[in-house]
Chain A
Amino acid sequence: MTVSSLIAQFFVTPIALGGLQKAVLILPICLSIAIVYKVTRLENLRHMIRAVLNLWVTIVVGMYAVGVGLWVVYTLLV
């Protein structure tokens, strides 16, 4: 199998994900959101990295907190 057919197969066949992997894949998408938001908001990009990291951590902690909160509510109700 050639490298190009391997890459083609990678983009055609869905990856089998577990629940934990899905939770971990929140990290890169939150990073993308933080980068694009800060790139459009900041006039001076010299301080971008710190601002992006702050926003990324805030989003990730917030998302996991909401997730845990909903899971607790669900566990208590069901």
Chain B
Amino acid sequence: MPNPNELSPAIRIPLAGLLAWLVPGVGHLFIGERTRGLILLITVSLTFWGGIAIGGVRSTVDPQRNYLWFMAQICAGGHTLAAYGLGESSRSKHFKANVPDASYQRDKRVTQRLKSDLLSTANWRSAELALVYTGVAGLLNLLAILDAIVRADPAHRRMAVVTAAPGTGAT
């Protein structure tokens, strides 16, 4: 893999943003900000999967029912895609177990009703909190993506060297 510092800014900046979206913190690791990247990776991942553990993978990431929350969740990139895939697989198993007749499984209304039944069995408090955790994890990753993009810009590096002094920093 080529050294990211040798890449032109036109490639380095969007690549840092894309990596930061795919796996939180990896954008920072890519541009050489190892500590920052590791802290972001651990914090965003724990927040996201903590939410999934609270609300369950079946009902937490659901673009049909919670599309506005999904807009926030999708900012966590790979985590959201993995949770959605696991949720769909778990929902399919549930449908097959409850609707043995294959012809009914193709009926969208039956599928939707079963899905609603499945979601209504979730504890509303945990479902709500799970949405907040995963949505906030996504929005925090959006902040991390923007930060990775700014830090990947050589102009920011030059400014940071000039302005940084021990014991100071933006608050």
> Interface on A for B, CB 8 Å cutoff?
10-19, 22, 25, 28-29, 32-33, 35-37, 39-45, 47, 51
Rounded to whole angstroms, the CA-CA distance of A51 and B169 in the bound complex is: 10
Out of A15, A32, A39, which one reaches B137, CB within 8 Å? A32
Rounded to whole angstroms, the CA-CA distance of A38 and B171 in the bound complex is: 7
Interface of A is mostly: helix
Contact size range, B: 35 or more
Decide: A11 and B52 in contact? CB cutoff 8 A. Answer: yes
Within 8 A of A (CB), among B50-65: 50, 52-59
Extra inter-chain contacts (19) besides given A11-B53, A12-B56, A12-B57, CB under 8 Å: A11-B49, A11-B52, A12-B90, A14-B127, A15-B55, A15-B126, A17-B123, A19-B125, A25-B54, A28-B47, A32-B47, A36-B140, A37-B143, A40-B147, A43-B163, A43-B168, A43-B169, A47-B167, A51-B169
B12 to chain A, nearest CB (A): 18
B contact residues around A47 at 8 Å (CB)? 167, 169
